[in-house]
Amino acid sequence: MEEIRELATKFERYSAHSHITGLGLDENLKARDIGGGLVGQKKAREAAGIIVRLIRDGKMAGRGILIAGPPGTGKTAIAVAISKELGKDIPFVQVSASEFYSSEMKKTEALYQTMRKAIGVRIRDTRRVLEGEVVELDYNMVPNPYNPTQKVPESARITLATEKEKRSFSVGSRIALQFMYSGISEGDVIIIDKETGRVTKVGRTGSGKKYDIDVEEVAERPDGYVEKDKEYTYVVTLHDLDEARARRSTIFSLFSSESREIDNEIRQAVDEQVKDWIEQGMAELIPGVLFIDETHLMDIELFAFMNRAMESEMAPIIILASNRGFAKIRGTDDISPHGIPLDLLDRLLIITTEPYSRDEIRLIIETRSAEMGLLLDQDAIEKLTEIGYSNSLRYAIQLLAPANELAKTRNSGKIEVEDVERAEMLFVDVSKSSAYLKEWEERMLT
């Protein structure tokens, strides 16, 4: 089997939403006033809770969700909360529709690849492994050929012990480097995949040096033989499998670039393979979620493609977000609700988000600053609430970090109203910056 990358956590890019941990619902799917880092917006959160259930029960296949509401009303925040509720076993991919337009590939290809990133395959696989407690580990160090002042392991000799036996192995530089980077030492219980050479640390036994014992998993010296078959499960995406297969085909190995188009024949072969695995009880399909933000940037071709693709048995659940009311469908002169074609709208369950009250904005700002570990005095909070209410919530939240820097330049650990005002002066919001440039454009024309 080919080399397989496991699902990485994809939450780094949600930094603006790092205070959100879930939908904050009780067991009857009622929204708490504040929960999961979310404030208010109860109807939308409760609707999202039902959607999470439907997704978990596999009842959303072929359907999608549209979250519609004015800017800064928490559409992205709710999508992030849905992903937190679904947990990390269900793939969740977030993109802005603008990402489909690139010079590297056709837009429909970019969309298709993204859709396949949102479908997981849980594979059960039996691998030949070496497992045991490390009782001896010696590196053979040589000067780094690229930098002779450094030393790198050229090989290593390792002895693994179980209750039943002790075996020694010599390994090459690739595995030796893995030992080094994962800090493997005597007393660790490790697993080495015999075929791929991948090294996994299970934990530490009590017989190793005692330090760090409470921050690490404790493990027992295994019984049985060192070499054995072990069953694993792991999740990969259809896109991972597509790429792995494409890499093996000779034509593709000529290209070295990271992103590239994948042949439809390759995808078909992957689908066949996955269906085979499923029939043999070796694999399970996990349809995940593809969240497409800034949906108004999609054009008619992308919509048509997506609508067709949603009918396939291997399609993810689609969540769209839009802040447009009636708008032109890109690439046409037709006006439709949210700029989305009617045949696609027919498939969508729609949730709306509403503008926040002053009190809700204040609470959101407090929740967010607490998560960032910031201290604000009461006037600063009021000022930001006012900005959030009259400009936009996103802008108010974005001002927190620079205001904090300004407080620090005063040697203060607490943000005061002057820091907020300063930050507001230095960083304008998007309506001001665009109005400013528009004014300039007009002056240039006259």
Ligand X SMILES: Nc1ncnc2c1ncn2[C@@H]1O[C@H](COP(=O)(O)OP(=O)(O)O)[C@@H](O)[C@H]1O
By the criterion CB under 6 A, which residues form the site for ligand X? 16-17, 20, 37-41, 69, 71-77, 364, 367, 393-394, 397
DSSP code, position 35? E
Q: Which residue is nearest to Mg ion (CB)?
A: 76
Q: How far is the CB of 75 from Mg ion (least distance, A)?
A: 5
Closest approach, Cβ 296 to Mg ion, in A, equals 12
If the CB atoms of residues 77 and 134 are measured against ligand X, the closer one turns out to be 77
How many Cβ atoms from other residues are within 10 Å of residue 346's Cβ?
9
Give the shortest CB-119-to-ligand X separation in angstroms: 25
45 or 204, CB closer to ligand X?
45
- What is the DSSP secondary-structure string of 313-342? TT--EEEEEE--SEEEPBTSS-EEETT--H
Residue number, 120 or 388, with CB nearest to Mg ion: 388
Decide which of ligand X, Mg ion, none touches 274; Cβ closer than 5 to 8 Å per partner kind: none
What is the smallest separation between the CB atom of 174 and Mg ion, expressed in angstroms?
43
Give the C-alpha separation, 423 to 374, whole Å: 15
66 binds, among ligand X, Mg ion, none (CB under 5 to 8 A by kind): none
Tell me which long-range contacts 100-105 makes (C-beta under 8 A, separation of at least 24): 100/297, 100/298, 100/302, 101/297, 102/259, 104/257, 104/259, 104/260, 105/259, 105/260, 105/261
In terms of CB distance, is 75 or 362 closer to Mg ion?
A: 75
Residue 364 binds which entry of ligand X, Mg ion, none, CB below 5-8 Å type-dependent: ligand X
Least distance to ligand X from the beta carbon of 233, Å?
A: 33
Name the residue whose CB lies closest to ligand X: 74
Rg from Cα positions in the chain: 27
- Which residue, 118 or 364, has its beta carbon nearer to ligand X? 364
Residues that bind Mg ion in the complex, under the rule CB under 5 A: 75-76
H-type alpha helices, 155-249? 173-181, 238-248
Determine contact, residues 246/253, Cβ cutoff 8 Å.
no
What angle (nearest 5°) sits at the alpha carbon of residue 353, between those of residues 349 and 355? Answer: 165
Q: Which of ligand X, Mg ion, none lies near 267, with the C-beta cut-off 5 to 8 A by kind?
A: none
Name the minimum Å distance from CB 284 to Mg ion.
32
DSSP 24: -
Nearer to ligand X, 38 or 55 (CB): 38
